[in-house]
Homo-oligomer: A and B are copies of this chain.
Amino acid sequence: MLYLVHMVVDIPKDMPADEAAKLKEVEKNYSQDLQRDGRWSELWRVVGQYANYSVFDVDGNAELQEILSNLPLFPYMTITVTPLAPHPSRI
């Protein structure tokens, strides 16, 4: 089941640089594990913004919530979730 997810990141300006760097590293690993197992199926940068559009392929709402709420950057993100369905014109 697919969801389009929009994530905007806003790390506090006063977070120490090394703490931020470490957090981003953990986030990257977390994301790549989910990409490898196929649940985080698309990940694009929005041009000009510290934001991404992602597509998740999961069992449903609960699994998506589990994944998103455990994002290391979750406390610093504004997330919007759009449930997707097959389009009748899709080949």
Interface residues of A (CB under 8 A from B): 1-5, 12-13, 27-28, 31-32, 35-36, 42-49, 52-53, 60-62, 64-66, 68-69, 75-76, 79-91
A53, B42: Cα distance in complex, Å: 13
Q: Which residue of B lies closest to A59 (CB)?
A: B60
Contact indicator B45/A3 (Cβ below 8 Å): no
Count of identical protomers in the assembly = 10
Contact indicator B89/A32 (Cβ below 8 Å): yes
Would you give the shortest CB distance from A23 to chain B, in whole angstroms?
12
Contact indicator A47/B64 (Cβ below 8 Å): yes
| Interface core residue of A53, A68, A81, A83 (most chain B CB under 10 Å) | A83
